[in-house]
Structure 1
Amino acid sequence: MVKKLYQPYKPNLDFSGLDHIVIGSGMGGLTVATWLAKAGKKVAIFERHFVPGGFTHSFRRKDGFQWDVGVHYVGNMAEDSSLRDFFNFLTDGKLEWESMGEVYDVANIDGEEYVFKAGKENFRKQMIVYFPEEEKAIDAYLKLLTKTSKRASAFYFEKVFEPWFSKSVGWIFRKRYSKFSQRTTYEVLSEITQNKRLISVLCAQCGNYGLSPKNSSFGAHAMVIGHFLEGGYYPIGGADKICEKTLEVFTANGGKIYINADVTKIVTENNRVQGIQIDEKFIPCKSVISNIGVNNTFNHLLSEADRNRCDFSLKNVKPASAHICLYLGLNKSSETLNLPKHNFWYYKHENIDEIFDEATLENAPENFAYISFPSAKDPNWEIKNPGTATIQAISVANMEWFEDFKDSNWMKRGNEYLFLKKNFETEMLKVLYKFYPQIEGTIIASEVSTPLSTENFTNYKSGEIYGLAHSPERFTLPFLRPKTKIKGLFLAGQDITLVGVAGAMLSGLLCATAILKMGSWKIFKEIRNQ
């Protein structure tokens, strides 16, 4: 990341005349901030981390290795896709993408391998090869994905309706989507097939939204799985290029971004936003856009009176799952080691719900692993880092496993904590060596992150990476909209829409629309046609 694109926050800097303040520099915040800047608004982003980007950022070590923290692949990125158009708009077409090829995911369940091929028809044919007696069920499943995605598009678009229009018309879109969002993935799939193995294969990518089949909303499942049906893509140069190229455009249009800027309060008066506060420093603006999750926004930055005014309650919705990740650096190239571009999903057996529900720090990697090969996906890696490769291996985690260390500081949590991380590394390496024995003896760098790392940088108290759990209850929350009941306070981020880069980008788009009205689309069309 080019440092001139951002600067450390200092209370004596000039923050006058701001139209909009965005809290948090994840994809949702980057999207709405850049959109507003292109509309001629004076915008500033305040980020608590020492690098911008949220889950789109990467981290580097002195030995030259670099790993992504959240973006492992993106779907719907064909040249003629609307998502590609939006990325081109945000980055002025300077962000390049590499296809992951014909196969983008591979699942291994109880020793049996299942390949996910790009393209709906390719996916269909491959699944029928595995399950020839389930052709009708597979066709019914694909039709459900399409139908659910169409209903979801209307459901999310309704979020920018004004209250009077939402009450008179919006309920129709919400009700039509509820037929899918208010049922679990397992319930829906069990109606089209009784084949347990087929259900587990169709749910093998559930780590992309963080909930097992009996707990997740089918509405979320359909949107995420449908997002990848045409294949996976990876940003050339690494995931942090998403943030870097967007910030280049944002700052070129007058935007400012400040790091080490931990906002402590959203200041309101008479139900209207006045600005933000960082410690004792008050910074005025016309509106505030929070991109740090609804829990952090309402429970940590707003008063109880403001929370009540917005009808905010998370009583029935839990945070999404946490994760624990092993980062590896190797002294041979991806090509030499024959590392794949595709991601690898490993399940010890087909009962995914049992694996997730009964996970412990000791058994998590033994039962479940998601393995990604960023250096193999990125054609620029070998050019910049010849003769090396990177791997990330992730399993499910729970913040409760690390409760004894919650009061410790990052990188200073003590030997007992390091011992737990080393045990996880040892167990995860067993899985890696089983499926990729060629990497043994090539590892020269390793690091483990836990939910405590996620909490440290995002302030997500449960170490969750996907915000609110994508359960049926999530889709009933009335306050998950860009526009709040507090004048001048808006929300962006995956809580407002859906998990992932595309979901967060959609939230930023909706937020920009809520602020600029139809002017946001006018700007997009004008610049797109230039």
Structure 2
Amino acid sequence: MTKKNYTQFSSDIDFSGYDHIVIGSGIGGLTAATWLAKAGKKIAILERHYVPGGFTHSFKRKQGFQWDVGVHYMGNLNKKGALLGMFNFITNRKLKWEFMGEVYDVVHIGNKKYEFRAGRDNFKKQLIQYFPEERQAINSYLELIDKANKRGALFFLEKVFEPWLSKSLGRIIRKRYSKYCHRTTWDVLNEITDNKLLIAVLCGQCGNYGLSPKHSSFGAHAMVVSHFMDGGYYPIGGASQISNTVIDVLNDLGSKVFINADVQEIITKNNRVVGIKVQNNIIPCKNVISNVGVHNTFNHLLSNKAKQHCKFHIRGVKPSTGHICLYIGLNKSSSTLDLPKHNVWYYANENTDEIIEKSSLSEAPKNFAYISFPSAKDPDWDNKNSNKATIQAISVGHYNWFSDFENQPWMKREAAYKKLKSDFEKSMLERLYSLFPQLKGCVIETEVSTPLSTKHFSNYKHGEIYGLEHTPNRFKLPFLRPKTKIKGLKLVGQDITLVGVSGAMISGILCATTILKMQSRHLFKDLKNFQNH
């Protein structure tokens, strides 16, 4: 594994030779930086954490266990997939992937189990076997997914249009997509079937975008479901290999990542960027790319005057959900314990909205759990960690459950907070043992993260993991695009496009395209060379 391919920030460092400064080292910022670096630009990436990578980084504990904080699997990485070409392009083919197998997700609704099989035809065939009387509804569902995604691809491409084109052609594109993205998943599915169990199964992956059917945009649902339909893949060596390999490429191109660099302000004058403030040090610069979310960018890094000039007004769109995660280390290998590569989604019943909306801290794991087995997915794990295995078990975690402790220091919060974490751990282990009884007696390491943990490391103010919530109203916000009204300020990240690593990557490409304009043609030609292994 690559080590120390980043630099400690210091006020003595001369940043005058950098063409662009990226705030935040998540995959959106890293992607934009790599595209710009390959076009001959010199980029500095500033990361407030002591480890780069955003939600693609991993962490270790003393007994040798390693867990990912955000990436559990990726889709669209088959040989002909465009996303594979993007990864190959930004990592120079250094990043390798492991296919998770024929089954990539298993949804439990009460005591019933539903497998999601790789490949559209396999997916459809399996669903029809479960619901033979719903054949027409299933066919209609898949057709709607295709139509929504066709319109959605143009919707996101439109984000690089210049204002004059956005007002004309862009308006048509947005209107055509609105019939999908401006409606909830429940409203769309309820028109094709009244089978609540089928709807619950079709929405079994809703945790991937953080909202239940009656609140999520069908446009977001369609893209996420389609993303995984050809199967799941896991980065060999763990999720941290994603950022590590990209940073290696950036270093080779003369760009750098700086850690412990907490940006406090984007300084503007006459509606243009003139510098940034980092740990009370002023760094003059003309071009900044913010990868820290629109809430942080507009509400915390820009002055009120600059915010008003950008016409940043969020109406009816809140931060996305938080989560609680139990990280588990076991004293036997994945093969010995017969751990699956696929992910498990558990719901106590078919009332998905009620489970998510009315969840309480004490009841959360009893009603909903997402369980991932990273050591089973990674063929490199056993080479470095014999007779050990890891699991991540996640449930709903609302910020207000823990807000009484938000001003207390990390790792030093009072006993009442620790008690909440301990109770969650006990409840989640009970859920885990009910699904995998062979794990009893094998757990030797545990750790619990809450939305306060997410806030501490990511600086998302409500511990959210998906930026802005993926409601229909999100798709009506005009400023969610790379170019802002502040000259020299660009935006990347999942807020600009869609949830997850792939959404953030695409935002990085859109941002780089906005900056490079016609020069991007050469990069897209190079990208085609990376489409296949």
Q: Same fold (TM over 0.5)?
A: yes
Distance across 2 between alignment mates of 1:349 and 1:374: 27
Deviations 1:231-253 (A, max 9, x none): 00000000000000000001110
Aligned counterpart, 2:423: 423
Contact 1:496 1:507 in 2 (8 A): yes
Aligned counterpart, 1:266: 266
Aligned counterpart, 1:370: 370
Q: TM-score of the superposition, structure 1-length normalised?
A: 0.99
Distance across 2 between alignment mates of 1:309 and 1:3: 42
Secondary structure in 2 matching 1:125: helix
Contact 1:18 1:286 in 2 (8 A): no
Instruction: For structure 2, list consecutive stretches of 5 or more residues without a partner in the other structure.
Output: none
Change (3 A) 1:228 1:529: closer
In the TM superposition, what is the alpha-carbon distance from 1:285 to its structure 2 partner?
Answer: 2.2
Aligned counterpart, 1:111: 111
Distance across 1 between alignment mates of 2:472 and 2:377: 34
Change (3 A) 1:467 1:527: closer
Change (3 A) 1:527 1:150: closer
Secondary structure in 2 matching 1:425: helix
Report percent identity of matched pairs: 64
Distance across 1 between alignment mates of 2:465 and 2:193: 31
Matches within 5 A, 1:363-512: 363-512=363-512
Aligned counterpart, 1:26: 26
Matches within 5 A, 1:290-329: 290-329=290-329
Matches within 5 A, 1:334-349: 334-349=334-349
Aligned counterpart, 2:51: 51
In the TM superposition, what is the alpha-carbon distance from 1:347 to its structure 2 partner?
Answer: 0.2
Aligned counterpart, 1:253: 253
Secondary structure in 1 matching 2:311: coil
Aligned counterpart, 1:209: 209
AA aligned opposite 1:379? P
Aligned counterpart, 1:162: 162
AA aligned opposite 1:6? Y
Aligned counterpart, 1:5: 5
Q: CA RMSD in A?
A: 1.0
1:137 counterpart = 2:143: no
Distance across 2 between alignment mates of 1:366 and 1:526: 49
AA aligned opposite 1:419? K
Instruction: For structure 1, list consecutive stretches of 5 or more residues without a partner in the other structure.
Output: none
Contact 2:47 2:260 in 1 (8 A): yes
Distance across 2 between alignment mates of 1:322 and 1:133: 37
AA aligned opposite 1:348? A
In the TM superposition, what is the alpha-carbon distance from 1:79 to its structure 2 partner?
Answer: 1.4
Distance across 2 between alignment mates of 1:458 and 1:68: 14
Distance across 1 between alignment mates of 2:504 and 2:147: 22
In the TM superposition, what is the alpha-carbon distance from 1:12 to its structure 2 partner?
Answer: 1.1
Distance across 2 between alignment mates of 1:526 and 1:7: 29
Distance across 2 between alignment mates of 1:83 and 1:270: 39
Contact 2:85 2:527 in 1 (8 A): no
In the TM superposition, what is the alpha-carbon distance from 1:436 to its structure 2 partner?
Answer: 0.3
1:233 counterpart = 2:233: yes
Contact 1:71 1:239 in 2 (8 A): yes
Distance across 2 between alignment mates of 1:374 and 1:58: 11
Higher mean displacement: 354-363 or 512-521:
512-521
Deviations 1:377-415 (A, max 9, x none): 000001110110000000011110011111111111122
In the TM superposition, what is the alpha-carbon distance from 1:527 to its structure 2 partner?
Answer: 6.2
In the TM superposition, what is the alpha-carbon distance from 1:528 to its structure 2 partner?
Answer: 4.9
Aligned counterpart, 2:99: 99
Distance across 1 between alignment mates of 2:528 and 2:382: 33
Distance across 1 between alignment mates of 2:4 and 2:423: 40
Deviations 1:320-342 (A, max 9, x none): 01000000000000000000000
In the TM superposition, what is the alpha-carbon distance from 1:221 to its structure 2 partner?
Answer: 0.2
Secondary structure in 2 matching 1:335: coil
In the TM superposition, what is the alpha-carbon distance from 1:187 to its structure 2 partner?
Answer: 0.1
Matches within 5 A, 1:173-184: 173-184=173-184
In the TM superposition, what is the alpha-carbon distance from 1:510 to its structure 2 partner?
Answer: 0.3
Distance across 2 between alignment mates of 1:137 and 1:169: 33
Secondary structure in 2 matching 1:5: coil
Distance across 2 between alignment mates of 1:181 and 1:524: 28
AA aligned opposite 2:283? I
In the TM superposition, what is the alpha-carbon distance from 1:115 to its structure 2 partner?
Answer: 0.4
Alignment length, in residue pairs?
A: 530
Aligned counterpart, 1:69: 69
AA aligned opposite 2:211? L
Aligned counterpart, 1:121: 121
AA aligned opposite 1:17? G
Misfit runs of 4+, over 3 Å: 1-4, 526-530
Distance across 2 between alignment mates of 1:202 and 1:15: 50
Distance across 1 between alignment mates of 2:284 and 2:257: 16
AA aligned opposite 1:401? W
Secondary structure in 1 matching 2:336: helix
Contact 1:468 1:474 in 2 (8 A): yes
Distance across 2 between alignment mates of 1:108 and 1:414: 36
In the TM superposition, what is the alpha-carbon distance from 1:523 to its structure 2 partner?
Answer: 2.1
Secondary structure in 1 matching 2:326: strand
Contact 1:89 1:524 in 2 (8 A): no
Distance across 2 between alignment mates of 1:506 and 1:96: 19
Distance across 1 between alignment mates of 2:527 and 2:316: 43
Secondary structure in 2 matching 1:264: strand
Distance across 2 between alignment mates of 1:353 and 1:445: 33
Distance across 2 between alignment mates of 1:314 and 1:174: 18
Distance across 2 between alignment mates of 1:148 and 1:282: 46
1:356 counterpart = 2:368: no
AA aligned opposite 1:206? C
Secondary structure in 2 matching 1:79: coil
Deviations 1:435-478 (A, max 9, x none): 10001101110000000000001111110000000000000000
Distance across 1 between alignment mates of 2:527 and 2:155: 27
Distance across 1 between alignment mates of 2:33 and 2:181: 30
Secondary structure in 2 matching 1:337: coil
Distance across 1 between alignment mates of 2:521 and 2:378: 33
Deviations 1:134-189 (A, max 9, x none): 00000000011111111000000000000111012100110011100000000000
Distance across 1 between alignment mates of 2:450 and 2:128: 39
Q: TM-score of the superposition, structure 2-length normalised?
A: 0.98
AA aligned opposite 1:37? A
Secondary structure in 2 matching 1:14: coil
1:223 counterpart = 2:211: no
Change (3 A) 1:282 1:3: farther
Distance across 1 between alignment mates of 2:441 and 2:517: 57
